[in-house]
A and B are shown apart, each in its own frame.
Chain A
């Protein structure tokens, strides 16, 4: 019974490049959430998606960040033209339904040089 999968686990990018983070939810889960943890801080909500729909993107930066959860395949968090301040751990969580517990993946650690 696989948990939430995230890849890559570590990603190094130079300033100005693009970063693509992938999240495969647990089997049977159709709700996906992305959170970001900056150094020495707690997790901050970014976006909540259901298959093919963005439900809540109130935590997403207005520029350079986008997320999708297509009908087939993993959810993707895309960061264009990365800057050093984007260096963080990005966690994906999934749940079976809106009111069900969110289970987290191991995270992707993004380092921007």
Chain B
């Protein structure tokens, strides 16, 4: 049973435009949400997180939006750069700690 779903396996965006990556979850008990970025042959790198008490968190070019009623979160990257090309994973957990439950990932390709 997939508790965290990223329904788009891939996304292609032009440099300078906005990239929007989506993630859905099934369990309303999840209360902490994270995005990680992963390059081939490397480990995931933490990008940004959001607690369930917020609906938006921004860090530079990266913004995460949380819609609790829809059990949906999204990551906006603007403007997108070729160096952003990577696989993006959303992850969730309970009480901001312990095991992370990951989505399957979305491969972002930013074209010059």
Contacts and interface: CB of A to CB of B under 8 A. Distances in A.
A4 B102 contact: no
Contacts of B89: 42-43
Q: Sort chain B's interface into a size bin.
A: 20 to 34
A44 B4 CA distance: 11
B42 A107 contact: yes
Interface string B7-26: 00000000000000000000
A56 B99 contact: yes
Given A42-B89, A43-B89, A33 B43 contact: no
Contact of B43 (A4, A98, A101): A4
A25 B49 CA distance: 21
B99 A58 contact: yes
Contacts of A45: 99-101
Interface in B35-50: 36, 41-46, 49
Interface in A32-47: 33, 35, 41-45
B110 to A, nearest CB: 21
